[in-house]
Structure 1
Amino acid sequence: MTKPVILTGDRTTGPLHIGHYAGSLSNRLRYQDSHEQFLLLADTQALTDNAHDPDKVRRNVIEVALDYLAVGIDPERTTICLQSHLPALAELSMLYLNFVTVARLERNPTIKDEIRARGFGRNIPAGFLCYPAAQAADITAFKATVVPVGEDQAPLIEQTNELVRRINATAGAVVLPEACAVIPKSGRLPGIDGKAKMSKSGGNAISLSASPDEIRSAVRAMFTDPNHLRVEDPGQVEGNVVFNYLDAFDEAKDDLADLKAHYQRGGLGDGKIKARLEDILQAFIAPIREQRAHLSEHRDHVLNVIRNGTERARERTDATKREVVSALGLFQLRECNHGEA
């Protein structure tokens, strides 16, 4: 049986952190066997709000690829490819922009929230505003039917499917499949300071290559329950970042349930739960860090992984672009006889 096609990826704006692992990388490792998986190094998308620093985007292509390989992404089972080297994505993006209005792009809740968060006002980079059409091109070029996203990204998949229906209706045939958004049940892992979004630029993340000292410092600085002033005081589990991380990485779930109950009734200090989390994160990150360091010494291998994956992806995306162009009845120069207008 043909495996369902899944498209996922990351913007190449910096190395990945444990929030990426909890929210997406762990699932991608599982999808390798059950899906035909394409993993996009989204450097073109990264430029939508980093055009002032293209070198940052360029150098982080390798950094993100290193993280993929270090956590166990297998290039024989997952195609790792570079967005800017797949010309069909840009061509389909331009084509799709003719099937969506500026007003609809501005109404997209994800785009509205990001514009507000970044303080663009009316100085919105055009590439940023048009991102829903570009993402639709990414998804449909691979004919992906499964797209893992956070809950805040679901409106982008909805808009992708709107474009798919419009393209199919115009073509008078089902040229492109609709995609299903897969939203992880665990949700987004908060930053160590308790803020909703973990980010390297915000200084509240633990990278997948963090040193033992960096892990220790991050856990010690982690937000807990501000009202848990004495060991004997009952503590709050909800909103306690340490327990958020334990939920994500502690595999001894029965022991963790007992730990939560103890903390809630009092008699358990923050130092104890932080020590448990540190031990877990040290053991989790150490092999990733070591593998990443090994791969970093063999960058030609990493480049070959990207080159080979991009070539495979180019064949797939070029074929889809040709199908869309043909289905829409656009002029096919190679089919013309001499003298045709």
Structure 2
Amino acid sequence: MFANRVLSGMRPTGNLHLGHYHGVLKNWLTLQQQYECLFFVADWHALTTHYDSPEIIEQNAWNMIIDWLAAGVDPSKVTLFIQSKVPQHAELYLLLSMITPLGWLERVPTYKDQQEKLTDKDLGTYGFLGYPLLQSADILIYRANLVPVGEDQAPHLEFTREICRRFNHIFGKEPGFEEKAAQAIKKLGSKISKLYRELRARYQEHGDENALAEAKSLLGEQQNLNAGDRERLFGYLEGSSRLILPEPQTLLTQTAKMPGLDGQKMSKSYGNTIGLREEPDSVTRKIRTMPTDPARVRRSDPGNPQKCPVWQFHILYSSTEIRDWVQQGCTTAGIGCLECKQPIIDSVLAEQAPIRERARMYEEDPALMRNIVADGCENAYKLAEETMRDVREALGLNYL
């Protein structure tokens, strides 16, 4: 396994905007300088919520890859690929589903949350329920040990670690492991043995982390176990002596809070975005018509930047000097709202200019992009197949 391998992906569900750039892509540009990185188009994931409009996925996928390259993702340093072109993702997803407790999927925080938010879609499908497991397969198939996520996504990675432990526990055991573990349990005595089994069942079947912690504490208190038996019983709780799939670690990313045009988080669902490669005239128009502090009805009325969506853009884009100018000018009515917005317009257009310029090369010659992706898919396929050979062997599926 590569010592520091990073995996990350995006769903091709629409054009990327500045929120994606500041929230994800700028982190990718840093990570590609430090680690071996694999970035992928999660087109199967897009189908979990957009299965009724698959025609949008192909064009969105190619547009998104152009966005990545235009933003500065370097194909000489990064493997760029499309999820559905590496079928081992689906194979591992299927095999992991054989051992995944249903309750583990139902307790993923975003499962019910997304169902409540996306009320216009029928998400009562197996694919939507199972998408956290597909995410796990995406990570584990490359034995990626670092996964960049925000704090809100950390539960998904913890789910992956739980699946990893369960897989290693079931399929990575030493010869005679079950018998040796059973003999070790008998040494605990009938009362402690019964409690140990109950705690193990609560963790294995329901993912009860408190039960796991209690069982570990219980084992730590036992004086009649030798070191070998103690380690076996720890392994019997959550893993084994053979590590087939290594546990990935959370790489918490520092993401800039990219505001939308209305002050909310920038999101397609709110209709408040600025496209990553949006035309300058459109960008200028959107920013010039942004809502401002409602107290400034007239040009002569003083305002409060803290109550103005434009101020959030100044925090992200403007220098200290410009922010001081805005504070002074707004609170004294020394500047008007259009004057206040002009530095933002200049900064956003300056940020987008090189992105649009780099994109033009791939727009004019799509073969350049497709060749990059073809090479990336081939590399990803080889890495995934290395993992699947070990997985198939562990499951006894290498007999042909």
**TM-score (norm. length: structure 2):** 0.76
Q: Is the 8 A contact 1:235 1:263 kept in 2?
A: no
* Structure 2 CA distance for aligned equivalents of residues 145 and 223 of structure 1: 44
* Structure 2 CA distance for aligned equivalents of residues 261 and 3 of structure 1: 48
Asked if 1:332 corresponds to 2:398, the answer is: yes
1:52 aligned residue: 52
* Structure 1 CA distance for aligned equivalents of residues 359 and 73 of structure 2: 12
What does residue range 155-234 of structure 1 map to in structure 2 within 5 Å?
A: 155-170=155-170, 171=172, 172=240, 173-186=242-255, 188-199=257-268, 202-229=270-297, 232-234=301-303
Q: 1:87 to 1:144 in 2, by over 3 A?
A: same
- What's the C-alpha RMSD, in Å, of the aligned pairs? 2.3
1:66 aligned residue: 66
Q: 1:224 to 1:140 in 2, by over 3 A?
A: farther
| 216-225 vs 165-174, greater mean Cα deviation | 216-225
Q: Which amino acid aligns with 1:51?
A: Y
Larger Rg: 2
Q: 1:37 to 1:298 in 2, by over 3 A?
A: same
Asked if 1:115 corresponds to 2:115, the answer is: yes
* Structure 1 CA distance for aligned equivalents of residues 82 and 15 of structure 2: 16
How far 1:277 sits from its partner (Å)?
0.6
| 169-178 vs 186-195, greater mean Cα deviation | 186-195
Q: State which of 343, 346, 351 in structure 2 corresponds to 1:276.
A: 343
Q: Which amino acid aligns with 1:331?
A: L
Q: Is the 8 A contact 1:37 1:78 kept in 2?
A: yes
* Structure 2 CA distance for aligned equivalents of residues 77 and 28 of structure 1: 11
* Structure 1 CA distance for aligned equivalents of residues 135 and 282 of structure 2: 35
Asked if 1:322 corresponds to 2:389, the answer is: yes
1:21 aligned residue: 21
* Structure 2 CA distance for aligned equivalents of residues 205 and 121 of structure 1: 22
Q: 1:113 to 1:256 in 2, by over 3 A?
A: farther
Aligned residue for 2:49, secondary structure, equals coil
1:305 aligned residue: 372
Q: How many residues align?
A: 329
| 80-89 vs 144-153, greater mean Cα deviation | 144-153
Q: 1:184 to 1:285 in 2, by over 3 A?
A: same
How far 1:124 sits from its partner (Å)?
1.7
| 84-93 vs 317-326, greater mean Cα deviation | 317-326
Q: 1:243 to 1:35 in 2, by over 3 A?
A: farther
Aligned residue for 1:301, secondary structure, equals helix
Q: 1:282 to 1:264 in 2, by over 3 A?
A: same
Identity of aligned residues (%): 33
Q: 1:226 to 1:317 in 2, by over 3 A?
A: farther
Q: 1:148 to 1:240 in 2, by over 3 A?
A: farther
Q: 1:177 to 1:227 in 2, by over 3 A?
A: farther
Q: Which amino acid aligns with 1:144?
A: A
Q: Is the 8 A contact 1:236 1:263 kept in 2?
A: no
Aligned residue for 2:32, secondary structure, equals helix
How far 1:257 sits from its partner (Å)?
4.6
| 263-272 vs 283-292, greater mean Cα deviation | 263-272
Q: Which amino acid aligns with 2:275?
A: S
* Structure 2 CA distance for aligned equivalents of residues 261 and 99 of structure 1: 58
Aligned residue for 1:148, secondary structure, equals strand
* Structure 2 CA distance for aligned equivalents of residues 42 and 111 of structure 1: 18
Q: 1:321 to 1:203 in 2, by over 3 A?
A: same
Q: Which amino acid aligns with 1:225?
A: D
How far 1:130 sits from its partner (Å)?
0.5
1:339 aligned residue: none
In structure 2, the gaps of 5 or more residues are 173-239
Q: 1:246 to 1:236 in 2, by over 3 A?
A: closer
How far 1:263 sits from its partner (Å)?
6.2
Q: Is the 8 A contact 2:3 2:145 kept in 1?
A: no
Q: Is the 8 A contact 1:110 1:155 kept in 2?
A: no
Q: Is the 8 A contact 1:110 1:152 kept in 2?
A: no
Q: Is the 8 A contact 1:189 1:198 kept in 2?
A: no
How far 1:43 sits from its partner (Å)?
0.8
Q: State which of 255, 259, 269 in structure 1 corresponds to 2:321.
A: 255
* Structure 2 CA distance for aligned equivalents of residues 180 and 260 of structure 1: 42
* Structure 2 CA distance for aligned equivalents of residues 195 and 208 of structure 1: 18
* Structure 2 CA distance for aligned equivalents of residues 195 and 43 of structure 1: 27
How far 1:148 sits from its partner (Å)?
1.7
Deviations 1:221-270 (A, max 9, x none): 33443344455534142x643233333334x3x32552464367444543
Deviations 1:49-104 (A, max 9, x none): 11111110012121111101111111110110010011111011111112222332
1:289 aligned residue: 356
How far 1:120 sits from its partner (Å)?
6.5
| 64-73 vs 262-271, greater mean Cα deviation | 262-271
Aligned residue for 1:99, secondary structure, equals coil
Q: Is the 8 A contact 1:219 1:274 kept in 2?
A: yes
* Structure 2 CA distance for aligned equivalents of residues 221 and 99 of structure 1: 54
* Structure 1 CA distance for aligned equivalents of residues 309 and 277 of structure 2: 21
